[in-house]
Amino acid sequence: MAGQNCLVTNDWICGEYLRSRSQELTDATVQHIWITAVSVVIGLLVAFPLALLARRSRRIAGPVLGLTTVLYTVPSLAMFSLLLPLFGLSAALVVTGLVLYSLTILVRNILAGLEAVPQEAKDAAKGMGYGPGRLLWEVELPLALPAVMAGFRIATVSTIALTTVGSIVGRGGLGNLIEDALPSFFKAQVLTASVLCVLLAVVADLLLLGVQRLLTPWTRIRTTRDAVGAVAKVKAV
């Protein structure tokens, strides 16, 4: 009885809502996940060459870092509205906006990671006859990986939160459910979508942490205290 009526009485937590709208919830979650995933992957693909360019010369580094920082101060609402004439009401609009936001964090972290590679390691590799490409791929990237992954995790988590704003053009994943529920004060839907959104962020963060540990087995040899200190430093950057 209580289960049936919670939709009528507009309770915060409603089992009946979860049962009857499970398809809607799944669709929104799936949209949320793929918009986030596409955005951060494209963000990484764009940020990487930008970071390499910025590292090559100080003259490029200033404008690249400046531009990505300015992008971050553009309100997300305005960003999505301004991209509308270019893309129309499409997921590409939301993805583009999210890619632009992720660049700020990604470029900074990749750059910081690459710059923290010890000079001795690079010199040793060069002395062994490594060319620039192999040096980057086999020495610098693995050593920069913890910082890169830290940035990737922050970018992913904040992109998951920002995706909700995409509901202004109807492509906001779980944000759409929140927006739809607002006019009728549908509490169960707002709460469920919000909780799912935070859960997604937590799960994504933990998954990426697992990936990072798999990719960098050598960091686990260090004591935990060192690792915490290193993470604290990376995040402070």
Partner 1 sequence: MGVLGEAWTWLTTGANWSGESGAGHRLGEHLYVSGVSLVLACAIALPVALYLGHIGKGGALAVNLSNVGRAIPVFAVLALFMVSPLRNAGYVPTIIALVLFAVPPLLTNAYVGMTEVDRSVAEAARGMGMSGGQLFVRVELPLAYPMIMTGLRSAAVQVIATATIAAMVGQGGLGRIITAGFNTYNTPQVVAGALLVAVLALAVEAVLVGLDRALSPLRRRRTA
Query: Is 31 a residue that touches partner 1 (CB under 8 A)?
Result: no
Out of 41, 116, 145, 190, name the contact with partner 1 by CB under 8 A.
190
Out of 3, 49, 62, 75, name the contact with partner 1 by CB under 8 A.
75
Are the beta carbons of 109 and 151 closer than 8 angstroms? yes
Contact stretch for partner 1 (CB under 8 A) within 1-9, 23-31, 73-81, 138-146: 73-81
Out of 13, 18, 30, 84, name the contact with partner 1 by CB under 8 A.
84
Out of 2, 18, 30, 78, name the contact with partner 1 by CB under 8 A.
78
How many binding residues for partner 1 (CB under 8 A)? Answer: 45
Nearer to partner 1, 53 or 181 (CB): 181
Out of 6, 107, 148, 154, name the contact with partner 1 by CB under 8 A.
154
User: How many whole angstroms separate alpha carbon 173 and alpha carbon 214?
Assistant: 30
Written as one string, the DSSP assignment of 138-167 is IIIHHHHHHHHHHHHHHHHHHHHHHHGGGG
Out of 44, 95, 160, 208, name the contact with partner 1 by CB under 8 A.
160
Query: Is 99 a residue that touches partner 1 (CB under 8 A)?
Result: no
> What's the distance, CA 96 to chain centroid?
13
Per-residue b/e over 59-84, b at no fewer than 16 CB within 10 Å?
Answer: eebeebbeebeebeeeebeebbeebe
CB-based contacts of 188, cutoff 8 Å, min separation 6: 6, 7, 10, 11, 12, 13, 14, 17
Task: Give CA separation, 26 vs 1, 7, 30, 193, in Å.
Answer: 26, 19, 6, 10
Query: Is 179 a residue that touches partner 1 (CB under 8 A)?
Result: yes
Nearer to partner 1, 23 or 73 (CB): 73
Query: Is 145 a residue that touches partner 1 (CB under 8 A)?
Result: no
CB-CB neighbours of 209 under 10 Å: 13
- In the complex, the residues that contact partner 1 under the rule CB under 8 A are 73-79, 81-82, 84-85, 153-154, 157-158, 160-162, 164-165, 167-168, 174-175, 178-179, 181-182, 185-187, 190-191, 193-194, 197-198, 201-202, 205, 228, 231-232, 235-236
